[in-house]
């Protein structure tokens, strides 16, 4: 990813654009064959370009002069009818397209790891929480299945964003095609493997770039969500999962017992950067008239950084999930720690099915739940001693109501609907 955004690659893309335009002009008879022989061998000495830029304070002019020195008299045919943004924005489209391919590969690999572990823990029962409080039983695999489906949606968004930003423009100053025909633009972009900005002014419109950065930030947000869950579940009081801790690792310079979720915390910090870059992308949309360059300085930072940071985050999150240690005994202990309160909705619905008014049933169940929560008799014992309840529910029904797997009988259907079993098999 770093090489995609390195200066030599950027300049090579600029050179590819210029040569492709010259080839198109040559096919139209504007550039003689002998000049094209030199232009096809054109190079740009980066040191020489930097030297010229210190004089001109203009990177594209410095590029053109340094490149021109490598082709002699044929230099007069380079950049015919173009403006700087034709080269810069089309080159950026090439870089962003290549970066998106790498990010898409990383996203797919992470999805495969999540799918494999979801299938592995499909029946690892744990407590589901809402507002941080125990709610009802779920499985750790279902938590991961939710992440898998979200990552798959991001893959579709990234593909769309890649297509959206993977365009070029060869339309000249203010985009009017005054000196370069639209059919040449289409020809050049096709040769470069890009779409065409159908209506440009002097730049490719920055809504495309804002969308691309927003998608990257959205992916980062999901990675943060996943790793925030790891951080919560690794807390000492919970202890249900933990990041892998190698024999030689040390969690604290002061406290030898510490094993901290440092990788997950790293993801949370980096996600903040991506959201900031997306905000800068939206700020770049409203430029003055046909163009200004207020977007340019920001993009030189945020595009390489956003892609490199997200590339790292995807690989890091894959490592976290792949090596995540699962403490099933703690999950089961935490699930049972409420003394059965987590089955209150099943009792409520059973009473309703037995003919009790729903509001009355709610009050009955809530009364016993509150008493058990406050240290009274266990929830099930209180229900079993209430004649209003036992008049409607049998002992066998009680056994079913307090069996967590009765609530999870649709897991196979859920995993099948996601196609997760097959993805997990392929990933394994």
Alpha-carbon distances of 145 from 40, 149, 154, 271, rounded to whole Å: 52, 6, 14, 22
Distances (CA, A) of 362 to 346, 365, 384, 396, 400: 11, 5, 16, 21, 19
User: Is 131 among the residues known to form the active site?
Assistant: yes
Task: Choose the catalytic residue: 58, 179, 244, 252.
Answer: 252
Active-site entry in 131, 257, 289, 410: 131
Cross-strand pairs, 45 = none
3-state secondary structure the chain: CCCCCCHHHHHHHHHHHHHHHHHHHHHCCCCCHHHHHHHCCCCCCHHHHHHHHHHHCCHHHHHHHHHHCCCHHHHHHCCCCCCHHHHHHHHHHHHHHHHHHHHHHHHHHHHHHHHHHHHHCCCCEEEEEECCEEEEEEEHHHHHHHHHHHHHHHHHHHHHHHHHHCEECCCCHHHCCCCCCHHHHHHHHHHHCCEECCCCCCCCCCHHHHHHHHHHHHHHHHHHHHHHHHHHHHCCCCCCEECCCCCCCCCCCCCCCCCCCHHHHHHHHHHHHHHHHHHHHHHCCCCCCCCCCHHHHHHHHHHHHHHHHHHHHHHHHHHHHHCCEECHHHHHHHHHCCCCHHHHHHHHHHHHHCCCCHHHHHHHHHHHHHHHHCCCCCHHHHHHCCHHHHCCCCHHHHHHHCCHHHHCCCHHHHHHHHCHHHHHHHHC
Asked if residues 171 and 86 have their Cβ atoms less than 8 Å apart, the reply is: yes
Is 209 among the catalytic positions?
no
Residues acting as catalytic residues: 131, 252
């Amino acid at each position: 990813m770093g090489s995609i955004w390195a200066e030599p690659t950027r300049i090579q893309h600029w050179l590819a654009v210029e040569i492709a335009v010259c080839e198109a002009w040559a096919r139209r008879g504007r550039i003689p064959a002998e000049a094209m022989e030199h232009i096809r061998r054109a190079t740009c000495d980066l040191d020489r370009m930097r030297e010229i830029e210190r004089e001109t304070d203009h990177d594209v002019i410095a590029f053109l002069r340094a490149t021109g020195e490598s082709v002699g008299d044929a230099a007069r045919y380079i950049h015919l009818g173009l403006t700087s943004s034709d080269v810069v924005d089309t080159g950026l489209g090439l870089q962003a397209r290549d970066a998106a391919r790498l990010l898409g590969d990383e996203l797919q690999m992470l999805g495969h790891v999540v799918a494999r572990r979801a299938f592995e823990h499909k029946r690892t029962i744990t407590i589901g929480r809402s507002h941080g409080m125990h709610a009802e039983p779920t499985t750790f695999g279902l938590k991961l299945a939710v992440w898998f489906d979200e990552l798959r949606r991001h893959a579709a968004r990234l593909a769309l964003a890649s297509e959206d930003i993977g365009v070029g423009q060869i339309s000249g100053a203010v985009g009017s095609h005054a000196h370069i025909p639209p059919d040449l633009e289409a020809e050049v972009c096709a040769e470069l493997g890009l779409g065409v900005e159908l209506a440009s002014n002097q730049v490719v419109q920055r809504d495309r770039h804002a969308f691309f950065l927003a998608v990257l930030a959205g992916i980062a947000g999901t990675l943060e969500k996943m790793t925030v869950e790891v951080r919560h579940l690794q807390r000492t009081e919970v202890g249900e999962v933990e990041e892998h801790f190698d024999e030689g690792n040390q969690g604290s310079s002061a406290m030898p017992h510490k094993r901290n979720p440092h990788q997950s915390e790293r993801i949370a910090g980096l996600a903040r950067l991506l959201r900031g870059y997306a905000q800068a992308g939206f700020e770049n949309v409203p430029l003055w008239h046909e163009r200004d360059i207020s977007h340019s300085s920001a993009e030189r930072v945020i595009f390489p950084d956003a892609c490199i940071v997200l590339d790292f985050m995807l690989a890091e999150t894959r490592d976290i999930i792949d090596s995540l240690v699962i403490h099933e005994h703690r999950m089961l202990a935490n699930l049972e720690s409420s003394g059965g309160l987590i089955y209150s909705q099943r009792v409520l619905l059973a009473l309703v099915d037995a003919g009790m008014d729903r509001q009355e049933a709610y009050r009955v169940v809530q009364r016993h739940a509150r008493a058990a929560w406050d240290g009274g008799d266990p929830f099930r014992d209180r229900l079993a001693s209430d004649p209003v309840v036992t008049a409607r529910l049998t002992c066998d029904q009680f056994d079913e109501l307090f069996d967590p797997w009765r609530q999870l009988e649709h897991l196979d259907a859920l995993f099948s609907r996601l196609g997760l079993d097959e993805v997990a098999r392929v990933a394994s």
